Amino acid sequence: MTPFPAPSTSRPESAPRLVDGLAGLPFRIIGESPAFVRVLGRIERVARSDAPVLIEGETGCGKEVAARAVHYGGLRRDAPFVPINCGALPDALFEAELFGHERGAFTDAHERRRGLVSEAEGGTLFLDEVEALAPKAQVALLRFLQDQCFRPLGSTRELQGDVRLIAASNRPLETLVATGGFRQDLLYRLKVLHLELPPLRERGRDAVLLAMHFAERYARKYATPGPAFDAVTLEWIAAQPWPGNIRELENWVHRAVLMGDAQEPSDATFAAAEQTQNATFESYRNAKALALRTFERDFLLRALRQAGGNVSAAAQLVGKERRAFGKLLKKHAIDRRTIAG
């Protein structure tokens, strides 16, 4: 990923138009690349039925947006869409969150509570990061999927649910099944219908369309003119790999709107870019690795400087977990104290 060129002060006449997919939804799905159009077609077909859906794709590529498109484009659009992040729930609380509990069912259960299955009655229950479910939670979910019958914790009453279930995973569940990390029978129950979302790097110039959309959204939110993307900037956006996909791009645009400026490219980054351009076919891999390492170090340093050396704030700024951000600092031998001081 090469550094961001300085923005211009006016929007070019050749700026691409925003393209919406799936008309009639209460939100925008933007893109026009062949890979994106193919996914839209599949979403439309999936939305016509009521069967469980498994959505797979890299982190940040829009799995929840796709799940909402299936819901609001389908038969249950007027009923609730209830998301649950499986990775954020302790194993012991999964069944209570999903099915509810009676008063006194466990410590701190001071009153009766409806579960998310009941909250989503008639609508859609979206299980994000389903790959994070522990074995016990997988068994509970499998049992529910068989006939949608469930029993709240501490209750003797068996209830009947009526929800469409959509699950999403950052990792291919087939691979997890092969390594024993996920139940094969549960995979079969979840994967009646399947959507695989392409990463942003495979969506051509959709990154440009999305960047313009995010810039306009945040400019309205903060009542500011926001950054103006000239032709050079648009080409830069289109050329980036965006390993964090749409989420990374949105965070980047968000910062650009708030800060109103951009860091100048460093000499080291120019050198890496030049080496990449002049590399022979045989040395392409090494040149690419060098350019990425250089970018990564410069990016981390800029984030730390902007956060005043605060690792947690810098991690939040770039949309990464603190632990992962810390590992990157260690990888590049960056001492935050040199930034703070």
The pLDDT, as a whole number, for residue 307 is 82
Q: What is the DSSP letter of 160?
A: E
The pLDDT, as a whole number, for residue 306 is 80
Both 277 and 324 in one domain: the answer is yes
The pLDDT, as a whole number, for residue 7 is 39
Confidence of residue 55 (pLDDT cuts 50, 70, 90): very high
The pLDDT, as a whole number, for residue 89 is 84
Both 146 and 252 in one domain: the answer is no
Both 143 and 118 in one domain: the answer is yes
Answer with the residue of higher pLDDT: 234 or 291. 234
Residue written as tokens 């002049």?
A: 278
The pLDDT, as a whole number, for residue 264 is 35
For residue 228, the one-letter residue type is: A
Phi/psi-derived region of residue 247, left when phi > 0, alpha when psi is between -120 and 50, beta in every other case: alpha
Both 187 and 208 in one domain: the answer is no
pLDDT above 70 covers a percentage of the chain that reads: 79
Both 191 and 217 in one domain: the answer is no
Q: Which residue range is the domain that position 165 belongs to? A: 34-196
pLDDT tens digits, one per residue of 65-114: 999 999 999 999 999 999 999 988 888 788 888 998 776 556 566 676 88
Residues in the chain, overall count: 341
Q: How far apart are CA 62 and CA 39, in angstroms?
A: 11
Identify which of 258, 191, 206, 164 has the alpha carbon closest to the alpha carbon of residue 61: 206
Identify which of 21, 36, 28, 33 has the alpha carbon closest to the alpha carbon of residue 197: 36
Confidence of residue 6 (pLDDT cuts 50, 70, 90): very low
Q: How far apart are CA 92 and CA 79, in angstroms?
A: 29
Is 28 part of any domain? no
Residue 209's contacts (CB-CB under 8 Å, 6 or more residues apart) are 16, 18, 19, 30, 31, 32
The pLDDT, as a whole number, for residue 309 is 83
List the CATH number of the domain containing 316.
1.10.8.60
The pLDDT, as a whole number, for residue 273 is 42
**Tally of structural domains, the chain:** 2
By the 10 Å C-beta count (0-12 exposed, 13-18 middle, 19+ buried), 288 is classed as middle
The pLDDT, as a whole number, for residue 22 is 63
For residue 142, the one-letter residue type is: L
Q: What is the DSSP letter of 81?
A: E
Both 210 and 127 in one domain: the answer is no
**Mean pLDDT (the chain, rounded):** 81
pLDDT tens digits, one per residue of 186-223: 999 999 999 999 999 999 999 999 999 999 999 999 88
- Given 142, 170, 196, which residue is the final one in a domain? 196
Query: DSSP alpha helices (H): ranges in 12-159?
Result: 34-47, 63-72, 91-99, 116-119, 135-147
Residue 302: pLDDT above 60? yes
The pLDDT, as a whole number, for residue 336 is 73
Residue 268: pLDDT above 60? no
Average pLDDT over every residue of 148-171: 90
Residue 341: pLDDT above 70? no
- Given 196, 228, 245, which residue is the final one in a domain? 196
Q: Any bridge partners for residue 84, and if so which?
A: 127
Q: How far apart are CA 254 and CA 227, in angstroms?
A: 10
Both 149 and 274 in one domain: the answer is no
The pLDDT, as a whole number, for residue 207 is 95
- Given 178, 196, 214, which residue is the final one in a domain? 196
